[in-house]
Chain A
Amino acid sequence: MAEAHDYKAIGTRPVRPDGVDKVTGRANFGADLNLPNMLHGKMLRSPHAHARIKRVDVSRALAMDGVYAACSGGDFPTNERTTDLAKNCMARDKALYHGHAVAAVAARTPYIAERALDLIEVEYEPLAPVLDVDAAMADGAVLVDENLRTNGDASKPPSNVAAIVKFERGDVEQGFAEADVVVEVDCRVPTAHQGYIEPHACTATINEEGEATVWCCTQGHFDVRSLTANVLGKSVGEIKVIPSEIGGGFGGKTIIYLEPIAVKLSEMSGRPVKMVMTREEVFRATGPTSATHCRAKVGAKRDGKITAASAWLAYEAGAFAGAPVGPGCMSILAPYDLEHFSIEGHDVLVNKPKVAAYRAPGAPQAMHAMESAIDDLARELGMDPIDLRLKNSADEGTQAPYGPVFPAIGFRKCLEATKAHPNYTKPKAEGTGRGVAAGFWFNIGMQSSAEARLSEDGTVTVVEGNPDIGGSRASMCLMAAETLGVPYETVRTHVGDTESTGFCNVTGGSRTTFATGLAVVQACEDIIAQCKQRAAATWDVDVEQVDWADGQAIPKPGVNVDANPLSLRDIAKNAGRTGGPILGRASVNAQGAGASFSVNFADVKVDRETGKIDVLSFTGIQDAGTAIHPAYVEGQMQGGAVQGLGWALNEEYIYDENGVMENAGFLDYRVPVASDMPMIDTQIIEVPNPSHPYGVRGVGETPIVAPLAATSNAARDALGFRIADLPLSPPRVLEAIDNQADA
């Protein structure tokens, strides 16, 4: 499928530079830094899902032997500008979810710190919690925030609905009236956690000048710097953040929880402070993604032409506004070219941890609803689900439901590849079901900086500021090697801290290979431009008369100079004599991130006596633009599929009636284990993104979007009826089978 290119480095599959250290345990993660005289910090967390905090007294904890510092909400700047994030890091007047941080201590050992927590006195006035999106939207619901008004409209009464967003085109009523067939799906998707294996961890120290240094695992140390400064009321320049290797993030490490607390405890004690969350804390107090209630409706003519679609989405934000319902609304119909549609989304507060980004935030839940409806529609019409999608597919020139007109996109190619795929053309095994679904994610660009430094032996050190989660250092090396025309092995990429590289936005939105890649390419082009100047000076010709090819400066054809080509190595060696060190730089605000579409399909088998669903095969087909490192693109596709399958099958937060999570550990929060999964088959489609020199689109998020509906649709096929809600856990499936038998 790939277009013919004569790339030398791009498209190859070298081993990632960080791989060996990671598998041998040598790599340093968030919790691995130890400093002399370091203390251990621990957080006291609210035992109530909703309570007024009347009083916090840390004096008895402070008096304990081995305890050096203690703090609570009153120790942080609090005024009308205090951000939700600051209040999430440390509660002020109200605890808003079970596990909300209320106070913290630093002590000589983690064990002492834990015991000291028991000595902190907190007087709570427990309030009734509001625990799901439907209850929160009901009339007379308990209010999570008494001052919150929908869309900030002061004329409205307080509400748990922080925002309502709408996207519309045409006349949806007229569209449904024109339809021969209309189907509707109403479904709930539970809260799911990213499930990164490495818990949040940081070590902080602050000097006599009030300058703090923070080591932590994060997806974006520049964001940690600004957010920490915000919570502490410091300037950005007073904080330096050094990112460690990161053991998974998936969006969950784009914000902060511990860092300002550790800095505060360090300031109070005069010593470095390390804080490491337990797995239980990660589940109870960090941001998972939204539980949702969605309704999707779609109507079509007999020939499969969709005449109208509508959707109603309600997303739990947790304790503070900011559910990813906007992107959910923007994704839900993105694969289709529609005349009439309406989408309405609600961002709803509940007494649960504030949600954080999770891989294509908001899209999996929304598209689960619509792609289930599209599947039902195909059944009603007696059409192949791929043919139905082909008939309505968005393409280059289609106006996306959220506004812009798509440039070249790969959805149609993904659909065509599915139809031709051996896993799709082969007959289903006896007693199994097959389901397909489409996936989509916008991807983002944003700001990135990079430097490419030419060393005296001709090797190149690239420094950029995006923590490497999925092999991006390897991809940066490949793009640098391609641009410079040198072997991959001669380039090293280093993730610099906030003081040793220029600003980069987070590793998120599938932007790193696209946007930071763009900066790296431009930094390398800067090196080439300088090398050409050095060669021109050496040969005493005009710089316009010098070409760069295969890693060397050569005279342009027809230039009359008797000169041997000058390789990058030659130029590096002589740099001291030709003008000094050669340093390429670039900073970009990357525009034109390319949307990535996918089609996924699964074969499943249902044990009708236990309700257990086994996934027998799963195929992901996705437009990657250009796959810089195909193995890591496939890895993203496989990893996203497994997370989506886990969410579809078993993952869910289970709360008791008081808002206490009952399954805050990996034993009962069931992410799939390797033996649960079939080999995830992948096929990369390459429709290059016109806005990137090598055609890169983001690839990391789209893979989690379609598996929910693909699994649901496969179960529908196997069972003969639809279970709309997720997860399709054995008890839910067995109950549905029994109810169906009774009906």
Chain B
Amino acid sequence: MEGYAYARPTSVAEAIGVLQADAASGRRSQLLAGGTDVLVQMRSNDREPRTLVDVKHIAETNRVDIGDEEVFIGAAVPSAVLNENAQLKALFPGLLESADLIGSTQIQGRASIGGNLCNASPAGDTIPAIIADGGICVIAGPGGSREVPCEEFVTGVGHNALGAAEFLLGLKFKTPASGSGDAYLRFIPRTEMDIAVAGAGVALTLDGGGACTAARVSIGAVAPTALLVPEAAAALIGTQVDAAALAAAGAACSAAASPIADKRGTVAYRRKVVGVLCRRASAIARDRALNNIGGSQ
């Protein structure tokens, strides 16, 4: 591993300093959270020398704050830690399930949702769940911090909206209202250790009578980036989220998908399955929301 360096900043300012210094000298730097993408890439095809800037020793990236208005999840918090947080699990069961799908128990000890998002794979499992939940990316950089809605953060396969010397601090969500529920489902040919052929995240809110007042639907692995599908949300809003509404939402997802055919599935297959997943995830989100009506979560 010739030409590699490792930096372990403990503050936001220090991290930005390292990134700026590298940028100024023309040296490549790469952020490192759990490393479950980075190390694999380094060992397979990307051997170029660089500085690895480890972000997981900064207080902000490790924070989970649950307020009445807002929830903040630090970018580097491992999936296993998130899934042990009962309060967070009650608020965002779908998001946590998406993080719980990553790899295996061993991988989840390290894998973060910040890393999953920044890695910007079309098949990243937490991305549709974050988008459905209305996640906002909080970005730290030389000019201070800025915020970008998650659906605008991933700009292409392997590309994100971070500028020079910026990094992701964490994700911000509105604390869900009563009557809310979310869900994420993916399809893989196996049970684990696989990559999504299609995925669908759904978050919705029901009123006291069970009618859907708000919904967000996002699909993954069927386009270069995860997509927000307003047509699917529109098919749910104003309905009891009954079979007809579920079918309409599913059809909207199938229509919105623009998958490629590859070794993981044909275009027709992915289109069809993403609709099935949307329908099933919407039903789960609805049932969760029904359980939450009237209750403060």
Name A's B-contacting residues (CB within 8 A). Answer: 111, 609-612, 649-650, 654, 662-663, 667-668, 670, 672-673, 675-676, 729-731, 734-735
Q: Which residues of B contact A654 (CB under 8 A)?
A: 263
Cα A610 to Cα B187 in complex, Å, equals 8
- Which of these binds chain A: B139-147, B172-180, B190-198, B228-236? B190-198
Cα A407 to Cα B194 in complex, Å, equals 47
Contact among B2, B191, B192, B265 with A731 in the assembled complex (CB-CB below 8 Å): B265
Cα A341 to Cα B273 in complex, Å, equals 45
- Which residue of chain B has the shortest Cβ distance to A663 in the bound complex? B263
Q: Does B159 contact A (CB under 8 A)?
A: no
Q: Which residues of B contact A609 (CB under 8 A)?
A: 272-273, 276
Verify A670–B262 contact, CB threshold 8 A: no
Q: Does B269 contact A (CB under 8 A)?
A: yes
Verify A675–B194 contact, CB threshold 8 A: no
How distant is A739 from chain B, measured CB to nearest CB, in Å? 12
Cα A650 to Cα B187 in complex, Å, equals 14
Q: Does B41 contact A (CB under 8 A)?
A: no
Verify A675–B265 contact, CB threshold 8 A: no
- Which residue of chain B has the shortest Cβ distance to A732 in the bound complex? B269
Known A111-B47, A610-B276, A735-B269; contact A662-B190, beta-carbon cutoff 8 A: no
Cα A668 to Cα B264 in complex, Å, equals 7
Q: Does B266 contact A (CB under 8 A)?
A: yes
Cα A646 to Cα B132 in complex, Å, equals 35
How distant is B198 from chain A, measured CB to nearest CB, in Å? 9
Q: Which residues of A contact B266 (CB under 8 A)?
A: 731, 735
Q: Does B189 contact A (CB under 8 A)?
A: yes
Q: Which residues of A contact B189 (CB under 8 A)?
A: 612, 649-650, 670, 729-730
Task: Give B157-193 as 1s and 0s: 1 = Cβ < 8 Å from A's Cβ atoms.
Answer: 0000000000000000000000000000001011111
Verify A731–B195 contact, CB threshold 8 A: no
Q: Which residues of A contact B47 (CB under 8 A)?
A: 111
Verify A673–B264 contact, CB threshold 8 A: no
How distant is B45 from chain A, measured CB to nearest CB, in Å? 10
Other A-B pairs beyond A667-B195, A675-B191, A730-B273, 19, CB < 8 Å: A609-B273, A610-B276, A650-B189, A650-B190, A668-B195, A668-B264, A670-B189, A670-B194, A672-B190, A673-B191, A673-B192, A675-B192, A729-B189, A730-B189, A730-B269, A731-B266, A734-B269, A735-B268, A735-B269
Cα A670 to Cα B2 in complex, Å, equals 34
Verify B190–A670 contact, CB threshold 8 A: yes
- Which residue of chain A has the shortest Cβ distance to B277 in the bound complex? A610
Cα A570 to Cα B255 in complex, Å, equals 85
How distant is B281 from chain A, measured CB to nearest CB, in Å? 13
Contact among A111, A662, A663, A676 with B191 in the assembled complex (CB-CB below 8 Å): A676
Q: Which residues of A contact B191 (CB under 8 A)?
A: 673, 675-676
Contact among B2, B262, B273 with A111 in the assembled complex (CB-CB below 8 Å): B2
What are 16 of the A-B contact pairs (CB < 8 Å)? Answer: A609-B273, A610-B273, A650-B190, A663-B263, A673-B190, A673-B192, A673-B194, A675-B190, A675-B192, A676-B190, A676-B191, A730-B187, A730-B197, A731-B269, A734-B269, A735-B266
Known A662-B262, A670-B189; contact A734-B194, beta-carbon cutoff 8 A: no
Task: Give B98-142 as 1s and 0s: 1 = Cβ < 8 Å from A's Cβ atoms.
Answer: 000000000000000000000000000000000000000000000
How distant is B57 from chain A, measured CB to nearest CB, in Å? 29
Q: Which residues of B contact A650 (CB under 8 A)?
A: 189-190
Task: Give B237-266 as 1s and 0s: 1 = Cβ < 8 Å from A's Cβ atoms.
Answer: 000000000000000000000000011111
Cα A103 to Cα B2 in complex, Å, equals 26
Q: Which residues of B contact A668 (CB under 8 A)?
A: 195, 263-264
Chain A residues touching B, majority SS: loop
Task: Give B266-293 as 1s and 0s: 1 = Cβ < 8 Å from A's Cβ atoms.
Answer: 1011001100100000000000000000
How distant is A673 from chain B, measured CB to nearest CB, in Å? 5
Q: Which residues of B contact A111 (CB under 8 A)?
A: 2, 47
Cα A100 to Cα B265 in complex, Å, equals 28
How distant is A162 from chain B, measured CB to nearest CB, in Å? 30
Cα A687 to Cα B194 in complex, Å, equals 42
Interface size class of B (residues with CB under 8 A): 20 to 34
How distant is B39 from chain A, measured CB to nearest CB, in Å? 15
Cα A111 to Cα B273 in complex, Å, equals 42
- Nearest 4 pairs of A and B residues by beta carbon: A675-B191, A731-B269, A609-B276, A654-B263
How distant is A304 from chain B, measured CB to nearest CB, in Å? 37
How distant is B184 from chain A, measured CB to nearest CB, in Å? 16
- Which residue of chain B has the shortest Cβ distance to A609 in the bound complex? B276
Q: Which residues of B contact A663 (CB under 8 A)?
A: 263
Contact among A662, A667, A735 with B194 in the assembled complex (CB-CB below 8 Å): A667
Cα A735 to Cα B262 in complex, Å, equals 16
Q: Which residues of A contact B190 (CB under 8 A)?
A: 650, 670, 672-673, 675-676
Cα A612 to Cα B187 in complex, Å, equals 9
Verify A673–B193 contact, CB threshold 8 A: yes
Q: Which residues of B contact A730 (CB under 8 A)?
A: 187, 189, 197, 265, 269, 273
Cα A729 to Cα B266 in complex, Å, equals 12
Cα A734 to Cα B269 in complex, Å, equals 8
- Which residue of chain B has the shortest Cβ distance to A669 in the bound complex? B263
How distant is A733 from chain B, measured CB to nearest CB, in Å? 10
Cα A611 to Cα B266 in complex, Å, equals 13
Cα A71 to Cα B114 in complex, Å, equals 47
Cα A734 to Cα B271 in complex, Å, equals 12
Q: Which residues of A contact B264 (CB under 8 A)?
A: 668
Q: Which residues of B contact A729 (CB under 8 A)?
A: 189
How distant is B272 from chain A, measured CB to nearest CB, in Å? 7
How distant is A72 from chain B, measured CB to nearest CB, in Å? 25
How distant is A229 from chain B, measured CB to nearest CB, in Å? 36
Q: Which residues of B contact A675 (CB under 8 A)?
A: 190-192
Cα A676 to Cα B189 in complex, Å, equals 9
Cα A675 to Cα B189 in complex, Å, equals 12
Contact among A662, A672, A676 with B263 in the assembled complex (CB-CB below 8 Å): A662
- Which residue of chain A has the shortest Cβ distance to B266 in the bound complex? A731
Of listed A611, A729, A730, A731, residue having the most chain B CB within 10 A: A731
Q: Which residues of A contact B192 (CB under 8 A)?
A: 673, 675
Q: Which residues of A contact B187 (CB under 8 A)?
A: 610, 612, 730
Cα A321 to Cα B47 in complex, Å, equals 39
How distant is A114 from chain B, measured CB to nearest CB, in Å? 8
How distant is A678 from chain B, measured CB to nearest CB, in Å? 11
Q: Which residues of B contact A731 (CB under 8 A)?
A: 265-266, 269
Cα A672 to Cα B276 in complex, Å, equals 24
Of listed A111, A676, A729, residue having the most chain B CB within 10 A: A676
Q: Which residues of B contact A676 (CB under 8 A)?
A: 190-191
- Which residue of chain B has the shortest Cβ distance to A729 in the bound complex? B189
Of listed A611, A654, A729, residue having the most chain B CB within 10 A: A611
Q: Which residues of A contact B197 (CB under 8 A)?
A: 730
- Which residue of chain A has the shortest Cβ distance to B43 in the bound complex? A278
Cα A676 to Cα B47 in complex, Å, equals 34
Q: Which residues of B contact A611 (CB under 8 A)?
A: 269
Of listed B190, B195, B197, B262, residue having the most chain A CB within 10 A: B190
Q: Which residues of A contact B273 (CB under 8 A)?
A: 609-610, 730, 734
How distant is B85 from chain A, measured CB to nearest CB, in Å? 24
Of listed A610, A649, A654, A734, residue having the most chain B CB within 10 A: A610
Q: Which residues of A contact B265 (CB under 8 A)?
A: 730-731
How distant is A82 from chain B, measured CB to nearest CB, in Å? 35
Cα A612 to Cα B280 in complex, Å, equals 15
- Which residue of chain B has the shortest Cβ distance to A677 in the bound complex? B191
How distant is A166 from chain B, measured CB to nearest CB, in Å? 37
Cα A654 to Cα B261 in complex, Å, equals 13
- Which residue of chain B has the shortest Cβ distance to A612 in the bound complex? B189
Identify which of residues 1-20 in chain B touch chain A, using a CB-to-CB cut-off of 8 Å.
Answer: 2
- Which residue of chain A has the shortest Cβ distance to B262 in the bound complex? A662
Cα A111 to Cα B4 in complex, Å, equals 14
Identify which of residues 178-228 in chain B touch chain A, using a CB-to-CB cut-off of 8 Å.
Answer: 187, 189-195, 197
Cα A663 to Cα B189 in complex, Å, equals 14
Cα A729 to Cα B268 in complex, Å, equals 15
Task: Give B42-57 as 1s and 0s: 1 = Cβ < 8 Å from A's Cβ atoms.
Answer: 0000010000000000
Q: Which residues of B contact A672 (CB under 8 A)?
A: 190
